[in-house]
Amino acid sequence: MTPRPVVALNAVSKSFGPVEVLHNVNLALHAGSVHALIGENGAGKSTTMKILAGYQPPTSGNVTFEGDPVQFDSLQDGEAAGIVMIHQEFNLAEQLSVEQNIFLGRELKRGPLLDKAEMRRRTREYLTRVACDVAPDALVSGLSNSEKQMVEIAKALSRDARVLIMDEPTAVLTNRETEVLFKQVAALREAGTAILFTSHKLDEVAEISDQVTIMRDGDVVHAGPTAEMSEDAMATAMVGRDVSDLYPSKPGVAANAPVVLDVENLSVPGFAENVSFTLRSGEILGIGGLIGSGRTELMEGLAGLRPASSAKVTLFDQVTHFRRPSDAQRAGLCYLTEDRKLRGLLLERGMRENLTLANLHKFGGFLIERSAEEAALTDAIAEFDIRAGTRDVQVGNMSGGNQQKLLLAKVMLSEPRVLIVDEPTRGIDIGTKQQIYAFLRGLADAGHAIVVITSEMPELIGLADRIMVMRLGTVSGMLAPDDINEDAIVRLSMGLRAEKTPQMA
């Protein structure tokens, strides 16, 4: 091992407001070494990378570069020092050409004019190195995601990066493109570049990385040479939290509980294919899988929010196909969105208008009865324990937890018998989480059927009677109550089959 790391985090903690998201993280990147950073969604990988690249300062602890503590004031400072980060969402100007992007901000000049010939020559050279077959004058907006990824890497090459940080670089790449990327990574390693990347694909981690750091809930739980760890050990280290009494007890679903929803071969073009499942009265079905596995889009397709096709969907013994969300609402099926700020609530409006928006037909005929709306709001505030200061507060000024309760109250006004909730506790405090869990279980106990989509492993395990895991738009497994454990869910989400049979993505 090289004695001195190029860049390192020393006892770094990071807080956003009162919430500490990184606790005492130590991480060192060495020249000529590939480092993998893995962990579940929300484990703190992105924040760690941003601090390394100089995007965000640590709250405590320090970043050292070549052994000296540094404080990058901007990402330009970081890039000037030779640290380049490639984001998951590309940082390319869509309307400019590949060549213009690669030299953006550092254009070569001959006198007062641009030296286009030289820039084009060098661009070709970089593109050849990453085996990317696009013309230097092609517009970035016309490139595929994988080509954009390669252009980003070419851009990093052009900056002679000493440290290259990549956030899930292979998420958008095909297997073949991944191979090209790994060849390039190997070449950079030979040339002495320090590389850090994140991935949800453990087989890749095993294949390409020299060191691996595993994070969970803002802590580094394991760090060491990749060669000493099996993929299974990695998966085990990523999970393994105890589930406290945050979750209501599960009474179990009666064997004779009627099937209320039967979905056969539901497909949402581009997101999910041929998904089938059933849902019983009184049951909470959890849907696990990585972000981007098509869970949200599948359920939105079911609820008529986006185009979908199916062999047959039976709801309460009626064969249905919902073209609009209002059809689903009338039939007793409602979907609660994962994005309360952009899709759930009108942030510059008050609680009353938000609460009744989806159910205005229940408040008077031609004219809306405002008094009835106010009464409904009073009921909702009491039932869902919404604490918002004044009644006419703008919803955008409420806390996340109270917004979520209002959103839940809004959906419950539709009196759904089948309720699909997507990330019901994202970004809210633990007390509110508990209230929402108790409410959902109470609904199930009253005979409703519930689907919970969640990226939080403990929530999935603590809440669901049965778990369906999705991967790349298809169902990778269905876990009965007795088979539910984190290990099984992680394996299915990552594409690892029951035992040690590594799957290519």
**Nearer to another protein among residue 171 and residue 368 (C-beta):** 368
**Nearer to another protein among residue 106 and residue 387 (C-beta):** 387
Query: Rounded distance, CA 470 to CA 292, Å?
Result: 10
Residue from 236, 399, 435, 503 in contact with another protein (CB under 8 A): 399
| Virtual torsion, Cα 443, 449, 453, 458, nearest 10 deg | 60
**Nearer to another protein among residue 193 and residue 402 (C-beta):** 402
Q: How far is the CB of 307 from another protein (least distance, A)?
A: 13
At which residue do the structure tokens 């359920």 appear? 299
**Nearer to another protein among residue 129 and residue 362 (C-beta):** 362
**Nearer to another protein among residue 116 and residue 362 (C-beta):** 362
Find the distance separating the first CA and the last CA of the chain, reported in whole Å.
31
Stretch that binds another protein, among 76-84, 252-260, 307-315, 336-344 (CB under 8 A): 336-344
Residue from 107, 118, 125, 392 in contact with another protein (CB under 8 A): 392
Q: Is 324 in the site for another protein (CB under 8 A)?
A: yes
At which residue do the structure tokens 């919404």 appear? 386
Residue from 111, 113, 256, 366 in contact with another protein (CB under 8 A): 366
Residue from 1, 342, 498, 504 in contact with another protein (CB under 8 A): 342
Residue 264, H or E segment: strand 259-268
Query: Rounded distance, CA 469 to CA 489, Å?
Result: 7
Residue from 6, 53, 83, 345 in contact with another protein (CB under 8 A): 345
315, two tokens: 């709801």
Residue 479, H or E segment: strand 474-479
Q: How far is the CB of 397 from another protein (least distance, A)?
A: 9
**Nearer to another protein among residue 154 and residue 345 (C-beta):** 345
- Residue 501 DSSP label: -
Residue from 106, 121, 183, 361 in contact with another protein (CB under 8 A): 361
Could you list the beta-strand ranges (E) of 17-76: 19-29, 34-39, 60-65, 68-70
Q: How far is the CB of 337 from another protein (least distance, A)?
A: 5
Stretch that binds another protein, among 20-28, 255-263, 273-281, 353-361 (CB under 8 A): 353-361
Q: Which residues contact 179 (CB under 8 A, 6 or more apart)?
A: none
**Nearer to another protein among residue 329 and residue 425 (C-beta):** 329
- Asked if 404 and 424 count as a contact pair (C-beta separation under 8 A), the reply is yes
Residue 126, H or E segment: helix 116-129
Residue from 101, 209, 267, 329 in contact with another protein (CB under 8 A): 329
- Asked if 489 and 504 count as a contact pair (C-beta separation under 8 A), the reply is no
Q: Which residues of 218-239 are buried (b: 16+ CB within 10 A; e: fewer)?
A: bebebbeebeebebbebbbbbb
Residue from 346, 430, 438, 446 in contact with another protein (CB under 8 A): 346
Q: Is 193 in the site for another protein (CB under 8 A)?
A: no
- Asked if 322 and 304 count as a contact pair (C-beta separation under 8 A), the reply is yes
Cβ-based neighbour number of residue 341 at 10 Å:
14
Q: Is 323 in the site for another protein (CB under 8 A)?
A: no
Q: Is 344 in the site for another protein (CB under 8 A)?
A: yes
Could you list the beta-strand ranges (E) of 17-132: 19-29, 34-39, 60-65, 68-70, 83-86, 109-110, 113-114
Strands 211-216 and 113-114: unpaired
Edge-to-edge, what's the strand order for the sheet holding 318-320? 272-280, 259-268, 312-315, 318-320
**Nearer to another protein among residue 109 and residue 324 (C-beta):** 324
- Asked if 291 and 455 count as a contact pair (C-beta separation under 8 A), the reply is yes
Q: Which amino acid, one-letter code, is at 448?
A: H
Stretch that binds another protein, among 46-54, 213-221, 391-399, 438-446 (CB under 8 A): 391-399
**Nearer to another protein among residue 176 and residue 387 (C-beta):** 387
Local structure of 495: helix, strand or coil:
coil
Applying the rule CB under 8 A, the residues between 408 and 447 that interact with another protein are 410, 414
- By CB under 8 A, the count of residues binding another protein is 33
Q: How far is the CB of 123 from another protein (least distance, A)?
A: 34
Q: Is 358 in the site for another protein (CB under 8 A)?
A: yes
Q: Which amino acid, one-letter code, is at 457?
A: M
Q: Is 353 in the site for another protein (CB under 8 A)?
A: yes
**Nearer to another protein among residue 53 and residue 355 (C-beta):** 355
Quick note: the x/- pattern for another protein over 284-313, rule CB under 8 A, is ---------------------x--------
Q: How far is the CB of 367 from another protein (least distance, A)?
A: 5
137 φ, ψ to 5°? -100, 10
Q: Which residues contact 111 (CB under 8 A, 6 or more apart)?
A: none
Residue from 68, 89, 348, 499 in contact with another protein (CB under 8 A): 348
29, two tokens: 């990147």
Q: Is 382 in the site for another protein (CB under 8 A)?
A: no
In the complex, which residues of this chain contact another protein (CB under 8 A)? 305, 324-326, 329, 335, 337, 342-349, 353, 357-358, 360-361, 366-368, 387, 389-392, 394, 399, 402, 410, 414
